[in-house]
Chain A
């Protein structure tokens, strides 16, 4: 029987060999694929295993992970709804948005800059601690912007023009990210559904991922293009009719007051900007042609996804327009669409003598033992205009605030440069209201853009100067008080 027993042994050996092979196949060969399967909740649990780093503003956490007594070990806690547009949310069930997503590798300790810590962790068996991200946000400015917007839907972006550091970024209405960070799936999903179905769109990030018609604030881009072309100065004049029929169409362009732009037969670019007149800008746009406006817009950051480190939606200056459409686009109508971040960048470039700094939200990244892991230094995004053009633009914008149609942004004792906008969105649609500018004009410390969506609740009767400019004023004041 021993001959048979040897064969039986061989069969047993083959049976076990198949187990060795099959387990190797699962645990080594296809382990990575299995880890990415949507239904494999272990990957999500893993991300909760290390204490996720905090997001800090002025040294205080606005998002932090607190130890809890469940399988996820840590719960994400958000301090204040006014930061929801910055932090986004971190949810077991809905993923991550905002900084939670953009700086995820730092917060989880998996960034390549933590390579040596990761090696150390592998050897010691303790997980890498997540790094904390300190923001450039100024809590007072953020609070001022949040409060000033009140219950209106809209957004505020404030930038330090000399560094590109973002001082405030607000989108309203905000949301309570804690509602999505709960570990109970049913609650989290229900809360998410409620936020998604909310007509006010609290999950929309109006500061950098929603596009709005800019209206008259776009005139800054066109004016800059005109001055940069070398063919025009602030004093270049255009005919001043009260009505202007766009070439090749029967469409009539009128100024907002439906009259002439000042009393004279001609009007300068400076006056057109100061009084925010559409007729001269339509003529200017047609004269400049769309390519020149388009390349100027591109220098300001249009058509680019700007990383700061979240990624903005690209602002749009349309192409392939005829002269009539180019005329409309020159005062921010037709298909021009911008984000508040983009408009803040336009003002920041003018404020910073024509040099546009890369927008940035990260002050530094600190490891758990407080060593600096990453510290962005100010970098130049582009140079959209010469210092001369910037100076000229500044003077025009100062005029718009001090004795033009943007007067509600005036701050006593400080020279404010600014431009309002009131964009039409179709016949019965409420206007989109804008202000962008900077202060002090001679030594800019803050560039700001304010958008108020849905007419600020006033339909077609609200104006940029009446609703957006006062918000910007409060934000600028909050910076200047420092």
Chain B
């Protein structure tokens, strides 16, 4: 309490040395330097010369990182100093790899390039993150819009199923298209739904935790409390069946279960939730060839029948060959053959990175994600406000679970699904959503030591 008082006692103007921001500035310089190094290595390896094109991929993200940094100095000077540099490093590493894959595509006479679009999306996404920090004066402001978030989230979720708007890409009905612009609304839906879950659970946690009949020593919640869980479960299965996307349905349901558990402290929800999801997935798997095929490919990717089947394990096997080719030290950026794996720039960017930066590099990437997630969990842990706790935890867990589902899919921990690796993979909607998460985490982290103050703001 004394710490809180000390912070209260000092007017904000007195904090002339924002220590967190100086750490951040130092780490950002390091992050941009690292990205410059990656781009140079790629050009020297593949083109044998350095061209000014490096600046196209280096400067816009660096500039916007600086903008966010300056905004943070003015508007959220106590925000966590690690989050922004980690996001810049990961975004830059992904951009470098996408550029590297583009160079391979060009060398082979291909025309489908991603890096330039990725730069544009990075800039847009970072601008959104800046806007979140500026225009969301306090994240508690979001609490007023809990049910709006739900409507927005559900609306985004079902929008790909609207005839004329939805688009089926690579077998999943996850996209909406307006003209040439395609967008994956599910990425934004996960933020809206996390806001909703956090807001909903913070008001219902007492009744969910305490009320209910005891059957055989286990307290069963009332139908009124259980209802929303069933609704979310049903919605997840609907996504699985109608949009043919196991990853997204697992993601939504996973976030919900974790937040219910965090809010209520009752393990019964986790057990019941996992049981329900597995049952639903198993039944869906029996009925849908798409799911059982994925499971088959996961268990035996090198079996000829799976390998040769259309939509079989070819991609997974090639990704694993790529990872194995990289070994411990990797082939060096530009030294491998990541372009052999289909969708190396998006779903399989981890395989591409693993081939060229090796197991050691991959461990560093995992460690960065783990650090990013742990900063989010730490915000939740230290925040005095319950809604903030749940929101920060939920947003951090979104990143963690998404990493686990995607990277686990590529490295055969779980069946392969169609999610993107946060911040690394090519894709505008994914970048936008993840940078908004970064913006929100930064905003929440600024209020960790002064939760009360923000309420009055």
Contacts and interface: CB of A to CB of B under 8 A. Distances in A.
Interface string A388-420: 000000000000000000000000000000000
A124 interface: no
Contacts of A380: none
Interface string A16-27: 101110111111
Contact of B324 (A20, A22, A30, A71): A30
Interface in B382-397: 386, 389-390, 393, 397
Given A22-B408, A23-B359, A71 B400 contact: no
Which interface class (under 10, 10 to 19, 20 to 34, 35 or more) fits A?
35 or more
B262 A31 contact: no
Given A1-B262, A1-B263, A27 B413 contact: no
A15 B327 contact: no
B114 to A, nearest CB: 19
B412 interface: yes
B373 A31 contact: no
Given A1-B263, A27-B327, A37 B389 contact: no
A28 interface: yes
A20 B366 contact: yes
Contacts of A40: 321, 324-325
B328 interface: yes
A374 interface: no
A223 B363 CA distance: 74
Most chain A CB within a 10 A radius of its CB, from B107, B320, B332: B320
Contact of A5 (B302, B354, B380): B380
A42 interface: yes
A28 B400 contact: no
Interface in B406-454: 407-408, 411-413
B262 A19 contact: no
A9 B396 CA distance: 10
A1 B389 contact: yes
Contact of B389 (A5, A7, A12, A19): A5
A5 to B, nearest CB: 5
Interface string B233-245: 0000000000000
Contacts of A8: 258, 261-262, 377, 393, 397
Given A19-B403, A27-B328, A31-B327, A1 B397 contact: no
B401 interface: yes
A183 to B, nearest CB: 12
Interface majority SS on B: helix, strand, loop or mixed? Answer: helix
Nearest to A27: B359
Contact of A12 (B322, B336, B354, B377): B377
Interface in A1-53: 1-5, 7-9, 11-13, 15-16, 18-20, 22-28, 30-31, 34-35, 37, 39-42, 45
Contacts of B370: 12-13, 16
Nearest to A69: B107
Nearest to B369: A16
B326 interface: yes
Nearest to B412: A22
B337 A42 contact: yes
A19 B407 contact: yes
B404 A26 contact: no
A3 to B, nearest CB: 7
A27 B324 contact: yes
B447 to A, nearest CB: 17
Given A18-B408, A19-B408, A28-B328, A12 B397 contact: yes
B340 to A, nearest CB: 7
A30 B325 CA distance: 11
Contact of B265 (A3, A30, A34, A125): A3
A3 B261 CA distance: 11
Given A3-B265, A71-B337, A42 B321 contact: yes
A67 to B, nearest CB: 12
A5 B307 CA distance: 41
A119 B358 CA distance: 20
Contacts of B403: 15-16, 19
A10 to B, nearest CB: 11
B340 A42 contact: yes
B291 interface: no
B251 interface: no
A39 B316 CA distance: 13
A32 to B, nearest CB: 8
Interface in A79-116: none
A111 to B, nearest CB: 22
Which interface class (under 10, 10 to 19, 20 to 34, 35 or more) fits B?
35 or more
Given A8-B262, A12-B400, A1 B386 contact: yes
Contact of A37 (B302, B323, B327, B390): B302
A243 B355 CA distance: 77
Interface in A442-460: none
Nearest to A42: B325
Interface in B211-263: 258, 261-263
Contacts of A22: 408, 411-413
Interface in A237-272: none
Most chain B CB within a 10 A radius of its CB, from A1, A11, A16, A30: A1
B182 interface: no
B317 A23 contact: no
Contacts of A4: 261-263, 265
Contacts of B302: 37
Given A12-B397, A39-B317, A71-B108, A23 B354 contact: yes
Contacts of B377: 5, 8-9, 12
A18 B414 CA distance: 10
B381 interface: yes
A16 B325 contact: no
30 contacts: A1-B380, A1-B390, A2-B381, A4-B262, A4-B263, A5-B377, A8-B261, A12-B373, A12-B374, A18-B413, A19-B411, A22-B412, A23-B362, A23-B407, A24-B359, A27-B323, A27-B326, A27-B328, A27-B358, A27-B359, A27-B362, A31-B324, A31-B325, A34-B325, A39-B307, A40-B321, A41-B340, A45-B337, A71-B108, A71-B337
Given A16-B366, A27-B362, A39-B307, 4 more contacts: A15-B400, A22-B413, A26-B354, A31-B324
A-B interface, 10 closest residue pairs, ranked by CB to CB distance from nearest: A34-B324, A22-B411, A27-B359, A31-B324, A15-B404, A40-B321, A4-B262, A42-B325, A12-B400, A26-B323
Interface of A: 1-5, 7-9, 11-13, 15-16, 18-20, 22-28, 30-31, 34-35, 37, 39-42, 45, 71, 125
Interface of B: 107-108, 258, 261-263, 265, 302, 307, 317, 320-328, 332, 336-337, 340, 354, 358-359, 362-363, 366, 369-370, 373-374, 377, 380-381, 386, 389-390, 393, 397, 400-401, 403-404, 407-408, 411-413
